[in-house]
Amino acid sequence: MILATLDTVLKYAACHPGLLRGIQFLQDTTPGSLADGKHEIDSQRLFAICAHEQGRDRDGAVLEVHRKFIDIQYVVSGSEFIGWKPLGNCQQLKQAYNSETDLQFFADRPSSWFEVAPQSVAIFFPEDAHAPLAGTGDVHKIVIKVAVG
Protein backbone atom coordinates (compact mmCIF):
# COMPACT_ATOMS: atom_id res chain seq x y z
CA MET A 1 0.00 0.00 0.00
CA ILE A 2 1.20 3.49 -0.84
CA LEU A 3 -0.20 6.79 0.41
CA ALA A 4 1.03 9.98 -1.31
CA THR A 5 -0.04 13.26 -2.82
CA LEU A 6 -0.60 13.50 -6.56
CA ASP A 7 2.48 15.69 -6.98
CA THR A 8 4.80 13.20 -5.19
CA VAL A 9 3.38 9.81 -6.25
CA LEU A 10 5.42 9.53 -9.47
CA LYS A 11 8.43 8.26 -7.52
CA TYR A 12 6.46 5.04 -6.88
CA ALA A 13 5.65 4.46 -10.57
CA ALA A 14 8.57 2.03 -10.90
CA CYS A 15 6.67 -0.48 -8.70
CA HIS A 16 4.64 -1.59 -11.74
CA PRO A 17 4.71 -0.53 -15.43
CA GLY A 18 1.01 0.43 -15.51
CA LEU A 19 1.25 2.79 -12.53
CA LEU A 20 3.03 5.47 -14.56
CA ARG A 21 0.23 5.70 -17.15
CA GLY A 22 -2.45 5.74 -14.44
CA ILE A 23 -0.70 8.49 -12.50
CA GLN A 24 -0.09 10.48 -15.68
CA PHE A 25 -3.79 10.22 -16.53
CA LEU A 26 -4.64 11.86 -13.20
CA GLN A 27 -1.98 14.53 -13.64
CA ASP A 28 -2.93 15.32 -17.25
CA THR A 29 -6.68 15.43 -16.62
CA THR A 30 -8.77 17.87 -14.67
CA PRO A 31 -10.13 15.16 -12.33
CA GLY A 32 -13.06 17.26 -11.15
CA SER A 33 -14.33 17.57 -14.72
CA LEU A 34 -14.69 13.83 -15.37
CA ALA A 35 -18.24 12.54 -15.55
CA ASP A 36 -19.19 9.70 -13.22
CA GLY A 37 -18.68 6.29 -14.79
CA LYS A 38 -15.95 4.33 -16.53
CA HIS A 39 -13.28 6.01 -18.67
CA GLU A 40 -11.05 3.74 -20.75
CA ILE A 41 -7.38 4.64 -20.85
CA ASP A 42 -5.93 1.43 -22.35
CA SER A 43 -8.88 -0.86 -23.09
CA GLN A 44 -9.46 -3.30 -20.23
CA ARG A 45 -5.87 -3.08 -18.95
CA LEU A 46 -6.09 0.46 -17.60
CA PHE A 47 -9.26 2.42 -16.90
CA ALA A 48 -10.70 4.97 -14.51
CA ILE A 49 -13.94 4.84 -12.57
CA CYS A 50 -15.20 8.22 -11.40
CA ALA A 51 -17.88 8.34 -8.69
CA HIS A 52 -19.58 10.50 -6.09
CA GLU A 53 -20.32 8.31 -3.09
CA GLN A 54 -21.44 8.52 0.52
CA GLY A 55 -19.13 7.34 3.28
CA ARG A 56 -20.30 4.21 5.12
CA ASP A 57 -18.38 4.89 8.36
CA ARG A 58 -15.98 2.32 9.81
CA ASP A 59 -18.72 -0.15 10.74
CA GLY A 60 -20.05 -0.19 7.18
CA ALA A 61 -16.70 -0.40 5.38
CA VAL A 62 -15.78 -3.95 4.33
CA LEU A 63 -12.32 -5.25 3.50
CA GLU A 64 -11.97 -6.10 -0.18
CA VAL A 65 -9.15 -7.44 -2.35
CA HIS A 66 -8.50 -7.68 -6.07
CA ARG A 67 -6.34 -10.24 -7.87
CA LYS A 68 -6.32 -8.88 -11.42
CA PHE A 69 -5.99 -5.15 -10.74
CA ILE A 70 -4.05 -2.64 -8.68
CA ASP A 71 -6.17 0.27 -7.39
CA ILE A 72 -4.98 3.86 -7.57
CA GLN A 73 -7.62 5.65 -5.48
CA TYR A 74 -7.58 9.42 -5.93
CA VAL A 75 -9.75 11.74 -3.86
CA VAL A 76 -11.05 14.76 -5.80
CA SER A 77 -13.07 16.21 -2.91
CA GLY A 78 -14.42 15.22 0.42
CA SER A 79 -12.50 13.24 2.98
CA GLU A 80 -11.96 9.55 2.37
CA PHE A 81 -11.07 7.19 5.20
CA ILE A 82 -9.82 3.72 4.32
CA GLY A 83 -9.04 0.69 6.43
CA TRP A 84 -6.14 -1.62 5.60
CA LYS A 85 -4.95 -5.09 6.55
CA PRO A 86 -2.41 -7.39 4.90
CA LEU A 87 -4.27 -10.04 2.88
CA GLY A 88 -2.13 -12.73 4.52
CA ASN A 89 -3.63 -11.79 7.91
CA CYS A 90 -7.27 -11.97 6.75
CA GLN A 91 -9.01 -15.07 8.08
CA GLN A 92 -12.77 -14.41 8.02
CA LEU A 93 -14.00 -14.87 4.45
CA LYS A 94 -17.21 -12.94 3.84
CA GLN A 95 -17.60 -13.53 0.10
CA ALA A 96 -15.54 -15.85 -2.11
CA TYR A 97 -13.52 -14.40 -4.96
CA ASN A 98 -15.58 -13.48 -8.02
CA SER A 99 -13.35 -13.45 -11.12
CA GLU A 100 -15.87 -11.42 -13.15
CA THR A 101 -15.89 -8.50 -10.69
CA ASP A 102 -12.34 -9.15 -9.42
CA LEU A 103 -13.60 -8.89 -5.84
CA GLN A 104 -13.28 -10.89 -2.66
CA PHE A 105 -14.55 -9.67 0.72
CA PHE A 106 -13.45 -10.39 4.29
CA ALA A 107 -15.27 -9.85 7.58
CA ASP A 108 -12.01 -9.13 9.44
CA ARG A 109 -11.57 -5.63 10.82
CA PRO A 110 -8.77 -3.49 9.36
CA SER A 111 -5.58 -3.28 11.38
CA SER A 112 -5.01 0.35 10.34
CA TRP A 113 -7.18 3.33 9.36
CA PHE A 114 -6.02 6.40 7.51
CA GLU A 115 -7.38 9.50 5.80
CA VAL A 116 -6.84 10.14 2.10
CA ALA A 117 -7.17 13.91 1.77
CA PRO A 118 -8.23 15.67 -1.45
CA GLN A 119 -5.55 15.56 -4.18
CA SER A 120 -4.02 12.50 -2.53
CA VAL A 121 -3.78 8.92 -3.71
CA ALA A 122 -3.76 5.53 -2.06
CA ILE A 123 -2.42 2.61 -4.09
CA PHE A 124 -3.49 -0.93 -3.21
CA PHE A 125 -1.83 -4.04 -4.59
CA PRO A 126 -3.40 -7.54 -4.61
CA GLU A 127 -1.83 -8.27 -1.19
CA ASP A 128 -3.56 -5.22 0.35
CA ALA A 129 -7.03 -5.79 1.79
CA HIS A 130 -8.67 -2.37 1.97
CA ALA A 131 -11.98 -1.01 3.26
CA PRO A 132 -12.86 2.15 1.31
CA LEU A 133 -15.48 4.76 2.19
CA ALA A 134 -14.98 4.34 5.93
CA GLY A 135 -15.70 8.01 6.61
CA THR A 136 -18.93 9.96 6.50
CA GLY A 137 -20.21 12.53 4.05
CA ASP A 138 -19.79 12.98 0.32
CA VAL A 139 -16.65 11.73 -1.40
CA HIS A 140 -15.79 12.42 -5.03
CA LYS A 141 -13.11 9.97 -6.10
CA ILE A 142 -11.50 8.35 -9.09
CA VAL A 143 -10.26 4.79 -8.97
CA ILE A 144 -7.71 3.89 -11.64
CA LYS A 145 -7.67 0.13 -12.26
CA VAL A 146 -4.25 -1.12 -13.42
CA ALA A 147 -4.02 -4.71 -14.73
CA VAL A 148 -1.50 -6.71 -12.72
CA GLY A 149 -0.25 -8.93 -15.55
Number of separate domains in the chain: 1
Is the pLDDT at 39 greater than 90, yes or no? yes
Domain at 48, CATH number: 2.60.120.370
CA–CA distance, 6 with 68 (Å, rounded to integer): 24
Domain carrying residue 65: 2-147
Each residue's pLDDT tens digit, 96-141: 999 999 999 999 999 999 999 999 999 999 999 999 999 999 999 9
- Mean local confidence (pLDDT), 29-54: 94
Q: Is 142 helix (H, G, I), strand (E, B) or coil?
A: strand
Tell me how many degrees the CA angle 14-119-18 measures, rounded to the nearest 5. Answer: 25
